[in-house]
Amino acid sequence: MCVTRRRSARCTVLEPRVRLVDVAPTLAELCGLPPLPDAQGRSLVACWSGSGDADDRFLVSQDCPSSGLVHSTLIGARWKLIRVMRDAAA
């Protein structure tokens, strides 16, 4: 994830894997709001300063383009599994 601050052209690249569910907790912390009680993600603010802890989460993504192939990806700390299959419904 690449984060820019203000109008600077410089970008901070976050090394830990980030997920879409991390956006809401991050925005809440940046706005000074209390943590969201039911949020599944976590704030990424600590990662910007380099004080974030090691990321041990798995990431899962799936893409079903109109080509009829299903792309599934599972990413761990030191590995990535990519599976491409023909969609049975196509």
pLDDT for res 20: 82
Q: Are 49 and 11 in contact (CB under 8 A)?
A: no
Please name which of 2, 4, 44 lies closest in space to residue 23, comparing C-alpha atoms. 44
pTM of the prediction?
Answer: 0.55
Taking only the tens place, the pLDDT of each residue in 68-89 is 788 888 877 788 888 888 866 6
